[in-house]
Amino acid sequence: MHDCRRGRRFGCGLWIAHRVRHRQYLTFVAEPNGAPRVPPGFRLFRIRVTPGSVALVLGASVLAVLLRNAFVAAHRQIGWAVACVIVASLLAPLADLLDKRMPRWLALLVTMLSLAVMTVVVWGAIIVNVQDGLSTLGNEAPRAAASLERRSEMAKDFRLVERVNSLIATVRRPSQGTAVGQAVGAAGTYFVCGILTLFFLIYGPRMLRSAFAQIRDPGRRTRIERRTGLAMQNGRRYIVAAIAQTVVVSAGIGLASWALSLPAPFVLGALAGTVGLVPTLGVLVGSLPALLLAAGLNGWRDAVIVVGAAVVLQAVEVLVVRKRVDRASVHIGPALPAIVALLGYELYGIGGAMYGAAGLVFLIAWLDVLGIDDTPAPDVGDVRT
């Protein structure tokens, strides 16, 4: 038994008896004359509260409060920095590919120009289609819900009109990320984010190598480098596949909505593609607005067409795309992306939802590679019978 009686001069204290195999604990309050008696098989150790430990706990509490206040005050800038890191990590393979065919500075310039063009195109599409489309949906969705209530007792019992109006009011109500969105709309913010992205493209690999160099053990350093590289590769693959899936689903539901003469087909397709990023059920849930409008404005035949398109796209996602993405990158369930996207939207708007989900992908990819056993196998020639 471990002898802890040398600490009895400090007076009464708390003693813990621990049996490792069965994970059992016994607690005693010791007397000043020595340690208590414990059953056989237990290991005895003593817990003492010293002035140093009290000061350490108080200091850690004060530091946690200060860090929390600093994060709250600068959460907008921190969010921009995290977004720039994610964008730089996604653009790094393109810059490395161009670097093989042209000077490094020209490769970085072409990469940043490509990012700028893509941003302008997406922003222009949002300004031209999304704003007017959302206004149109806000007017047409209650009318479609009222039509469904007149034709269906189930919709009436569900209070469909009331729920649709509540949802529209929630969407129109500015979230906490509205101020962030107004700040992001400034040209200066785009310029700063572009400079930060370029900075991480140039110095990001060097910063990672410097961080790895702090690990003195060569074997451990090599393992961490290999696993970090694999995690970034898997995260990039997942995000690229998610972007491609968003484009395909948006095009499919959008074209179906346009063919059925539904209002705001671009917005309906974008909603289906964005919500479709949630694995397993996202496409079906994202197609509900198109289904509601088709059933309420055009009739059940068009609603069946929308359901058929959504079911086909969801089946392809589950049976084909998801299996290949899981094998090539990382497996992510539906709950975490939905929760992180909702929190990000509440804090930063639509950008917070997007970058929050992307950051979650990289985090899960990094956690996934921690369980990989990369210990080299022994050479068969060295094995002796």
Q: What is the pLDDT of residue 297?
A: 82
> What average pLDDT is seen over the chain?
78
Q: How open is the CA angle 178-179-182, to the nearest 5 degrees?
A: 90
Q: What is the pLDDT of residue 384?
A: 38
Taking residues 106-128, report their average pLDDT: 82
Q: Is the pLDDT of residue 23 over 60?
A: no
Q: What is the pLDDT of residue 252?
A: 92
Taking residues 211-223, report their average pLDDT: 88
Q: What is the pLDDT of residue 5?
A: 40
What is the amino acid identity at position 163? R
Model-wide pTM > 0.85: no
Q: Residues 31-59: pLDDT tens digits?
A: 445 555 656 655 555 566 678 777 888 88
Taking residues 100-124, report their average pLDDT: 84
Q: What is the pLDDT of residue 253?
A: 92
Q: What is the C-alpha separation between 170 and 174, in angstroms, rounded?
A: 8
Q: Is the pLDDT of residue 380 over 50?
A: no
Q: What is the pLDDT of residue 69?
A: 78
- Structure tokens belonging to residue 220: 């451990």
- What proportion of the chain, given as a percentage, has pLDDT over 70? 77
Q: 18 in helix, strand or coil?
A: strand
How many CB atoms are closer than 10 A to CB 220? Answer: 11
Taking residues 60-67, report their average pLDDT: 86
Q: Is the pLDDT of residue 13 over 80?
A: no
Pairwise pLDDT comparison (137 vs 302), residue with the higher score: 302
Taking residues 121-131, report their average pLDDT: 73
